[in-house]
C-alpha cells in the first residue's frame, strides 16, 4: 500500500527535539523526504529516522527562522535538491514563564521574534515554490493557552494568538494556488521543559491531567497524527482553521 506522504517534500522547523522530532519521524514513516531545519543540529532526529525501515535519508539544515537570509536559503537549497516543497510545518518556538510585571521588553521581543516573525519568514520563503506547484500544505503550531489565558505567558500567548490570525488571513490569499494553511492549538505535551518552568517533568501530570476530558498525558506522537492529516491530500478542503488538540481542556 502506498504511504500517505510518498513523494512529498516536507520541511519541519524546530525538528531537533520535542514535537518537531516526532513530526519529522512521522512524515518519514509515511514516505516523505524530510528536511530537518533547526537552529541546532538535528542529529538525534536523523538517527531516529534512519532507524525506521525504508525511511529516506533526511536533509539537515541549520536555520535560524528569525533570519530572512537563512529562511530564503533554506527554501532555495530544498528546491534545488528535491525540485519541490510540498509541506511546511512551522513548529520552531520558544517560551519562558514570567509574571507580567517582571516581563522585560527584551523577553517580549525574543518570543514574538521566534514564534511569529520566524513563522512569517519560513512561510514567505516557501510560498512562491508552492504557488508554482499549485500545491502546498502549511501547518502552524499554536497553543491551547490562547483559549485558556494561561498566566505568566503573556508574551507567548500573544505570539500564539498571532499564529491564528496569520493562519486565517494567509489561507484566504493562497487558497487559489492549492495551498492550505491551518493551525493546531496543542495542550501541554510531554516534551522537555525549560529550566525553571513552573510545570516541570516531575509535577506536570498532576497539574495537566485533571482538567482534561481524556485523562492521559498528551504526547508528541498524538500531535504528529493531526499534523500529518492536515498535511495530507485528505485535508484538501480544510483551510484557515485552528484545531484544538488538548485532551478536551479548552472547547473551541
Ligand atoms: N510542548 C508543549 O507542551 C507545547 C504546548 C503548546 C504548544 N507547543 C508548541 O509546539 C512547538 C514545539 O514545542 P516543543 O515543546 O517541542 O519545543 P522544544 O523546545 O522541545 O523544541 C523547539 C525546537 O525549536 C528550535 N528552535 C528554537 N528557536 C529556533 C530558531 N530561532 N530557529 C530554528 N529553530 C529554533 C529548538 O532548537 C528546538 O529544536 C512550539 O511552537 C511550541 O510553542 C508546545
- Reading the block at residue 49, the C-alpha cell is 529516522
Q: Are the CB atoms for 249 and 217 separated by under 8 Å?
A: no
Q: How many Å lie between the centroid of ligand 1 and the Cα of residue 176?
A: 30
Q: Which atom of ligand 1 is nearest to the CA of 118?
A: 31
Catalytic positions, written as ranges: 156
Q: Is residue 76 part of a domain?
A: yes
In the chain, how many domains are there? Answer: 1
Q: Is residue 141 part of a domain?
A: yes
Q: For 98-121, what is the mean pLDDT?
A: 98
Could you list the residue range(s) of the whole structural domain that residue 129 is in? Answer: 9-245
- What are 151-194's pLDDT values in tens digits? 999 999 999 999 999 999 999 999 999 999 999 999 998 776 66
- Taking the C-alpha atoms of residue 124 and residue 92, their distance in angstroms, rounded to an integer, is 15
Is the residue at 3 inside a domain?
A: no
Asked if 111 and 94 touch (Cβ cutoff 8 Å), the reply is: yes
- The CATH number of the domain holding residue 141 is 3.40.50.720
Residue 252 counted as domain residue? no
pLDDT score of 90 more than 90: yes
Confidence at residue 192, expressed as pLDDT on a 0 to 100 scale: 63
Task: Supply the mean pLDDT for the chain.
Answer: 95
The string of pLDDT tens digits covering residues 47-88 is 999 999 888 999 999 999 999 999 999 999 999 999 999 999
pLDDT band at 1; cut points 50, 70, 90: confident
In a domain, 2, yes or no: no
Within a domain: 250: no
Contacts of 155 (CB under 8 A, 6+ apart): 98, 103, 107, 108, 111, 112
1 C-alpha to ligand 1 centroid (Å): 33
In angstroms, the CA 158 to CA 168 distance is 16
Q: Kindly give the number of the ligand 1 atom that is closest to the alpha carbon of 92.
A: 24
Q: Predicted confidence band at 195 (pLDDT cuts at 50, 70, 90)?
A: low
Instruction: Name the one residue in this structure whose C-alpha cell is 516523505.
Output: 32
- Give residue-wise pLDDT tens across range 196-230: 666 666 667 788 889 999 999 899 999 999 999 99
Amino acid at each position: 500500500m502506498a504511504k500517505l506522504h510518498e513523494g512529498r517534500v516536507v520541511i519541519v522547523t524546530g525538528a531537533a527535539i520535542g514535537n518537531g522530532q516526532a513530526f519529522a519521524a512521522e512524515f518519514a514513516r509515511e514516505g516523505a523526504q524530510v528536511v530537518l531545519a533547526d537552529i541546532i543540529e538535528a542529529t538525534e532526529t536523523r538517527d531516529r529516522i534512519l532507524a525506521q525501515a525504508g525511511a529516506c535519508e533526511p536533509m539537515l539544515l541549520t536555520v535560524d527562522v528569525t533570519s530572512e537570509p537563512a529562511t530564503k536559503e533554506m527554501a532555495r537549497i530544498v528546491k534545488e535538491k528535491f525540485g519541490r516543497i510540498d509541506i511546511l510545518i512551522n513548529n520552531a518556538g520558544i517560551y519562558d514563564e514570567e509574571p507580567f510585571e517582571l516581563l522585560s521588553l527584551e523577553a517580549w521581543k525574543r518570543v514574538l521574534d521566534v514564534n511569529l516573525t520566524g513563522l512569517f519568514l519560513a512561510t514567505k520563503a516557501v510560498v512562491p515554490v508552492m504557488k508554482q506547484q499549485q500545491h502546498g500544505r502549511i501547518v502552524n503550531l499554536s497553543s491551547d493557552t490562547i483559549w485558556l489565558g494561561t498566566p505568566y505567558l503573556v508574551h507567548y500567548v500573544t505570539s500564539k494568538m498571532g499564529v491564528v490570525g496569520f493562519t486565517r488571513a494567509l489561507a484566504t490569499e493562497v487558497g487559489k494556488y492549492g495551498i492550505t494553511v491551518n493551525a493546531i492549538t496543542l495542550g501541554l505535551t510531554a516534551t522537555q521543559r525549560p529550566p525553571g518552568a513552573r510545570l516541570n517533568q516531575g509535577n506536570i501530570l498532576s497539574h495537566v491531567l485533571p482538567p482534561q476530558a481524556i485523562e492521559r498525558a498528551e504526547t508528541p506522537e498524538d500531535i504528529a497524527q493531526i499534523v500529518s492529516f492536515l498535511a495530507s491530500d485528505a485535508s484538501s478542503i480544510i483551510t484557515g482553521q485552528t484545531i484544538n488538540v488538548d485532551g478536551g481542556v479548552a472547547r473551541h
